[in-house]
Chains A and B, each alone.
Chain A
């Protein structure tokens, strides 16, 4: 029995309504408990420090075929950021696509304890899990891409929602996945022959179905299956000027899906879906229109996809969008279509302050995060590494919590972008309490992770302690000090074990991989159908397709009882 007592810190635990109260947090055997034996427990003196639940990232591309191809084609990304082997930690390379071990270390140093890999081609699921095993210090989960999976398209086209739901359940279990990921629905199948869809009512060639039907269909399927997270959506027309219209239409379409109050969809990296204008010359922010809609509706959650001014790598299952980026940049271009399931692409990208488009994108992300009033709806991400590497999060924290910080950056941006930016008119500065929502509590709640994102009794003992004294430090003014504090946590505690102290890894532990074991009726019938049809759809055998249990080093199955 190991006991740990974090004494006297300023605790920010929004899910339990605790806002900076001075209190102790007790831990026993990896869980938060009401109290521990005061004399026996190991103690951490958190006097004058900020204590939060371990941070949660709802959307970060850290493992799998796409990420690794990004690593392979970008030696120039690694050479500038190398990590030495130590007695405790493995060597590696970093920057926009860090090697697996480095990914774990860097997240943990910032106080992160749970991350979601949001994009996994089912056929390559074993690869994703093999890499997740090699990412230490974090709990993880991964979302299979199924918005353009032939079975989904066929069942939805037939109007057979139940059949669709059962196949989705099969896929979730087979790939050891956690949530339904949809990317440019219909567009990826069209991209198989080099085409795309351009509105949610375009018909997908050869399948006679529209993106609207796919999105709403899978949202309903998600409810039927009682999944902990909602559908996780990358919208159509992403990254195209004028696309906010599509985004609004998508959100409106989803109003028709019945809900019991839980959000039914998470639109990810919203920044990329909030462009007004009709070409790159007059592209501007649609944050006002989008946030106005969101402030009046509560059926969805979002994350930022905040742009960071640096050299990074875009990678998404949205093959046609990456092709657009290739046409714009002429840069090295990876396309990776996956039979029967999805597509993918990679383009290196440098976001420049002096580019009007990039600077506007930077502004849009912050405008959205600040204009959307309810922090439980909008979470902090960079869509790592698409809009920037995850280790830039402390910068975003500074921009969100300090007007001074964001105005300092805006002053260095392209004049045109400065002029168009809404940021000068926005006064809001997030408090530490709100920050705890957008970096952990809100993310954990949207993901349906009951033991994460809070410090109530029974929660996983994942804790981050930062060198910030809210009584003496005004983070809106001293944003650089705050940035430093969030960059290297005083302590990161994973399952009750101190893994990081003063920004250095002091203990190596393996995180768990969470996956959904969904119980549906007629599971056997689905198995048989899949077995029968398998050879027609794929080039591998049915027997070799699943991610077997041994592919997960530390598995944590979450049982879900479906209503179909």
Chain B
């Protein structure tokens, strides 16, 4: 039995690196410190859905083949393609991503990662107005106002609150977990009292004041010293339940709400009574809290990036943050999803200059979202082959894009037989990055962390990096042969 500590969890953008994994006979038997999702991955990664060997579609069926045959087939597809797509990358390590850029360049393809369907608009927003941000520890040590906008960390980034924001002990700010516990206790007590009243056990008259359907006035605690949590979302999420104040914005009205806040931050008057369903007088109180804080931060998720307005939402969210810096210190950060989606953007950028949607078809990198992302190319039906790695567009892309994807030869690299793999023509099994393969990943705040190998991969299963290198080598040799043949023919 071996206990491995300081393991980095390969699930979400939090990249918690304090996981303790116990391994017996090359099996993970115990996971400590992780959230439920983390535990589920470490305990369940060896499921029956694992792909065991390379597969090639023959007569409509995926059949097992040798590694060499699969590599040659994949390389042939890519080398012969005019405009292939190389998509995914967010759940693998930077080492594999580096090879990916070279492969995309070699075959003149479109290199794109899952940002195109999550935080691509955030990257575009920052290209408009920049981004005042920081690492997460800065927030842990200093932030006294924390806003989650269009995201639900309690469900999607479970340890975000405990490690980086409201429930963490910082140098200049304390954890709010005690006051949260009191709140939970008080709520439980209130519930008991109400049920006692309903049962007729209490002499006191039942409370008659109905809670307002949409809006409560901001509570006094919003002006207190210490950390305050504000959640803005279209529904009352789990995170919203524990917030000091929850603002329920009408769907697709985030843009208006942010612009109204900007006006109020600049001491401008609004001629309306409410914006996006929120009374302006309440907004004024919120703005009071924002401008009077010592250090505020906005975390935003796909509720902003993928709702009406898209990258304009991000542009205005960042602009609000810029405005707030005239009054106090305020920062903003996207809640990146996959554990290494940030890394893919970073690696692509240092090698090509662009973070996603990079088109190498002209021999040099080009980037123009609306034209060069995988989604644009698929919806125009222009690609003639694809390699999908470490993601599952077959399950997550719009139907028309998936139809376009499967119309042409499709190479899939993944540990699991996911929806995309089932649609693939050449399928490679790969080792689990962060469990069976080490490497580097970037946290949502662009902090690089090492991933650990805690168990050996199943026999014969290679890492993404090794597979890509094999394919790249084979592509180069096929192309060299072609050039030779051409020269001889001439």
A and B held together in a complex? yes
- In the assembled complex, B260 has its CB within 8 A of some CB on chain A: no
Known pairs A90-B105, A93-B364; A336 contacts B134 (CB<8 A)? yes
Q: Which residues of A have CB within 8 Å of B365? A: 78, 82, 91-93, 99
* Bound complex: CA A100 to CA B98 (Å): 12
Chain B 339-366 near chain A by CB (<8 Å), digits 1 or 0: 0000001100111111100001001111
| Given A71-B349, A72-B355, A94-B353: 7 more A-B contacts, CB < 8 Å | A73-B126, A78-B353, A91-B105, A93-B353, A101-B351, A192-B142, A332-B127
User: What is the interface of chain B mostly: helix, strand, loop, or mixed?
Assistant: mixed
Q: Pick the contact of A72: B126, B128, B294, B364 (CB < 8 A).
A: B126
Contact between B127 and A73, CB atoms less than 8 A apart: yes
Contact between A69 and B136, CB atoms less than 8 A apart: no
Q: How many residues of B contact A (CB 8 A)?
A: 60
Which B317-354 residues have a C-beta within 8 angstroms of A? 322, 325, 328-329, 331, 345-346, 349-354
* Bound complex: CA A415 to CA B458 (Å): 73
Q: Which residues of A have CB within 8 Å of B98? A: 134
Q: Pick the contact of A68: B134, B172, B349, B449 (CB < 8 A).
A: B349
* Bound complex: CA A150 to CA B141 (Å): 12
* Bound complex: CA A131 to CA B347 (Å): 9
Report, nearest first, the 9 A-B pairs whose CB atoms are least far apart. Answer: A339-B137, A93-B353, A194-B329, A332-B130, A337-B134, A543-B6, A335-B132, A78-B353, A126-B448
- In the assembled complex, A130 has its CB within 8 A of some CB on chain B: yes
Q: Which residues of B have CB within 8 Å of A92? A: 351-353, 364-365
Q: How far is the CB of B450 from chain A (nearest CB, A)?
A: 5
Contact between A71 and B5, CB atoms less than 8 A apart: no
Q: How far is the CB of B177 from chain A (nearest CB, A)?
A: 17
Q: How far is the CB of B13 from chain A (nearest CB, A)?
A: 13
Q: How far is the CB of B245 from chain A (nearest CB, A)?
A: 23
Q: Pick the contact of B94: A85, A130, A536 (CB < 8 A).
A: A130
- In the assembled complex, A540 has its CB within 8 A of some CB on chain B: yes
Q: Which residues of B have CB within 8 Å of A78? A: 353-354, 365, 367
- In the assembled complex, A75 has its CB within 8 A of some CB on chain B: yes
Q: Which residues of B have CB within 8 Å of A295? A: none
- In the assembled complex, B447 has its CB within 8 A of some CB on chain A: yes
Contact between A68 and B17, CB atoms less than 8 A apart: no
Q: How far is the CB of B121 from chain A (nearest CB, A)?
A: 14
Which A83-100 residues have a C-beta within 8 angstroms of B? 83-85, 90-94, 97-100
Chain A 118-154 near chain B by CB (<8 Å), digits 1 or 0: 0000011011001100100000000000000000000
Contact between B172 and A206, CB atoms less than 8 A apart: yes
Q: How far is the CB of B201 from chain A (nearest CB, A)?
A: 48
Which A311-355 residues have a C-beta within 8 angstroms of B? 323, 326, 331-340, 343, 346-347
Contact between A541 and B6, CB atoms less than 8 A apart: yes
Instruction: Tally the A-B contacts, defined by beta carbons under 8 Å.
Output: 186
Q: Give the nearest-CB partner of A90 in chain B.
A: B105
Contact between B448 and A127, CB atoms less than 8 A apart: yes
Q: How many residues of A contact B (CB 8 A)?
A: 62
Chain B 347-389 near chain A by CB (<8 Å), digits 1 or 0: 0011111110000100111110000000000000000000000
Chain A 180-202 near chain B by CB (<8 Å), digits 1 or 0: 00000000000011100000000
Contact between B328 and A194, CB atoms less than 8 A apart: yes
- In the assembled complex, A256 has its CB within 8 A of some CB on chain B: no
* Bound complex: CA A501 to CA B137 (Å): 48
Which B12-27 residues have a C-beta within 8 angstroms of A? 17-18
Contact between B353 and A99, CB atoms less than 8 A apart: yes
Q: Which residues of B have CB within 8 Å of A539? A: 135-137, 140, 163-164, 447
Q: Which residues of B have CB within 8 Å of A332? A: 126-130
Q: Which residues of A have CB within 8 Å of B106? A: 85
* Bound complex: CA A69 to CA B131 (Å): 10
* Bound complex: CA A346 to CA B126 (Å): 12
* Bound complex: CA A335 to CA B325 (Å): 11
Q: Give the nearest-CB partner of A86 in chain B.
A: B363
- In the assembled complex, A538 has its CB within 8 A of some CB on chain B: yes
